[in-house]
């Protein structure tokens, strides 16, 4: 018999907790419902975002992240403009439809101009055909607006955790690492007109099931257009590593991530949701499983090979020894295994966003 919870459109916090803890038949039904909702609202397509990791230089010191400013054990790099353009050109020629430019956080006039110029050049080289998502951290509203005007139309900024007290445990206690500021940034992005994405890490030390339920309710309340969330994976050159004994085993963090994605798919049927690389770091078939559970976006790495090892936010990151061509072929095979189909040459915008905007335009 179908569980009463799964017949609902909106879940209470208590119901989300029940689903996150589910085993056996309820768990099976959760994944079945998420797959059915995805098929009904989004079909079978998976959209590509060629991922360019522009630079691992970061001005911040998040306690969990391998490229934090104070980590002296990594070599810092900054792609040349030429390398970024070549990567974008690879995405264009291989019909990826969209790219993501991701970077450690830098706030400077130079960085702002650099990204603006790169967006302009990429739009030009692709005759406006490549969609551009940015993931360059917290910036002022003016900076976000400049990049939007230059042609970026989607922005990813993870809230990391919606629970402020936990956020404060994971970041230095100063103005540069403020939870409120991140909320303000998300609001600016939405206001400006970006398709706005956020996400959280799953299985952090001191994070409870109740915190994860809050995260899902936060995403629903914020009415996000896109989501990228995945397991926290410890990195030995970070302060949070000392709290390793408080972690769930990796397979449990993976299982929780699958459930988070499946539950959010039922709660927000038409948002874009990424199958993140961190899932693959834990389970070789991670991304395939997540596509089945509700994700519809995959981000093949197109960063030039020699830099990939250095963008290690967490350990055992996949695709560090592969080339853009390897990832292309690998992803095509994986999507097929998941029983889905890659939509080449499409932006794959968030349907949730398009619907909202049509509503706004209606009299």
Footprint of ligand 5AD (CB under 6 A): 64-65, 158, 160, 201, 232-233, 235, 278, 313-314
Cβ burial 297-326 (10 Å sphere, 16+ → b, else e): bbbbbbbbeebbebbbbbeebbbeebebee
Q: Which of residues 263-302 bind ligand FES (CB under 6 A)?
A: 300-301
The binder of 144, among ligand FES, ligand SF4, ligand 5AD, none, by C-beta within 5 to 8 A per type, is none
Report the 3 state secondary structure along 113-138.
Answer: HHHHHHHHHHHHHCCCCCEEEEECCC
The binder of 106, among ligand FES, ligand 5AD, ligand SF4, none, by C-beta within 5 to 8 A per type, is none
Residue closer to ligand SF4, measured from CB, 6 or 67: 67
Size of the site for ligand FES (CB under 6 A): 8
- Cβ 188 to ligand FES shortest distance, Å: 32
Residue closer to ligand 5AD, measured from CB, 180 or 325: 180
The β-bridge relationship of strands 195-198 and 201-202 is unpaired
Q: Which of 15, 168, 237, 322 binds ligand FES (CB under 6 A)?
A: 322
Where does 171-308 have alpha helices with state H?
179-192, 209-222, 250-267, 277-282, 286-293, 305-308
- Cβ 185 to ligand 5AD shortest distance, Å: 12
How many whole angstroms separate alpha carbon 132 and alpha carbon 347? 9
The binder of 322, among ligand 5AD, ligand SF4, ligand FES, none, by C-beta within 5 to 8 A per type, is ligand FES
How many whole angstroms separate alpha carbon 152 and alpha carbon 168? 31
Strands (E), 2-94: 45-48, 50-55
Residue closer to ligand FES, measured from CB, 62 or 275: 275
Q: Which residues bind ligand SF4 (CB under 6 A)?
A: 58, 60, 62, 65, 67-68, 104-105, 137
């Amino acid at each position: 018999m179908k569980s009463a919870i799964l017949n609902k459109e909106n879940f209470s916090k208590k119901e989300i907790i029940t689903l996150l803890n589910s085993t056996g038949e309820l768990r099976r039904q959760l994944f079945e419902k998420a797959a059915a909702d995805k098929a009904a609202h989004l079909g079978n397509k998976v959209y590509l975002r060629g991922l360019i990791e522009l630079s691992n230089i970061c001005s911040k010191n998040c306690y969990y992240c391998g490229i934090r400013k104070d980590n002296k054990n990594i070599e810092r790099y900054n792609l040349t403009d030429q390398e970024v353009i070549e990567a974008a050109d690879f995405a264009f020629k291989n019909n990826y439809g969209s790219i993501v430019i991701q970077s450690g956080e830098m706030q400077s006039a130079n960085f702002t101009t650099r990204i603006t110029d790169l967006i302009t050049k990429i739009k030009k080289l692709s005759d406006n055909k490549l969609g551009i998502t940015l993931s360059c951290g917290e910036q002022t509203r003016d900076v976000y607006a400049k990049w939007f005007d230059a042609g970026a139309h989607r922005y990813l900024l993870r809230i990391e955790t919606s629970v402020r007290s936990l956020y404060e445990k994971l970041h230095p206690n100063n103005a540069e690492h403020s939870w409120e500021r991140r909320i303000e940034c998300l609001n600016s992005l939405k206001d400006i007109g970006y398709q706005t994405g956020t996400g959280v890490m799953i299985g952090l030390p001191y994070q409870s099931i109740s915190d994860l339920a809050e995260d899902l309710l936060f995403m629903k309340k914020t009415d996000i257009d896109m989501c990228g969330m995945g397991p926290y994976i410890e990195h030995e050159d970070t302060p949070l590593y000392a709290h390793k004994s408080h972690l769930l085993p990796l397979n449990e963090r993976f299982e929780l991530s699958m459930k988070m994605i499946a539950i959010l798919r039922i709660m927000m049927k038409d948002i874009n949701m990424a199958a993140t690389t961190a899932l693959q770091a834990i389970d070789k078939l991670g991304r395939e499983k997540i596509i089945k559970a509700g994700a519809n976006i995959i981000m093949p790495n197109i960063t030039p090979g020699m830099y990939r090892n250095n963008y290690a936010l967490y350990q055992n990151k996949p695709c560090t020894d592969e080339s853009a061509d390897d990832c292309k072929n690998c992803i095509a095979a994986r999507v097929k295994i998941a029983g889905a189909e890659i939509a080449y040459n499409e932006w794959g915008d968030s349907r949730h966003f398009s619907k909202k905007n049509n509503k706004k335009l209606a009299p």
